[in-house]
Amino acid sequence: MAKIITIAHQKGGVGKSTLALNLAICFQEELSVALVDIDVQGSIADLKNDFSDLSIITEDQFDQIQKLSYDLIVVDTPPYLSSRLPELFKI
């Protein structure tokens, strides 16, 4: 079962996406890592081509998160209470 690190804050512009991306990059040296972007702004999803060696899961693929076979899943969240957060915390 994967460990999950969720980066959440109710305010935008505090560095959630930057932190999530950097954590995923650092951990991928030792672990299989997925970076999940459930922020509809899609800051991380926009970088998918720049980090082709990193597995980036977008908001529309969120329902498949339980089927992922990674050591670590890093989740970038939107800057508000999304209906997806309770679903995520159940995993």
Domain CATH number, residue 66:
3.40.50.300
d(CA 43, CA 60): 14
CB 43 within 8 A of CB 76: yes
CB 56 within 8 A of CB 48: yes
- pLDDT tens, position by position, 31-75: 999 999 887 777 787 777 788 788 888 877 767 776 778 999 999
The domain in which residue 76 lies consists of 3-90
Q: Is the pLDDT of residue 89 over 80?
A: no
Instruction: Please report the sign of the dihedral spanned by the C-alpha atoms of residue 41, residue 25, residue 64, residue 66.
Output: negative
- How many domains does the chain contain in total? 1
> What pTM did the predictor assign?
0.79
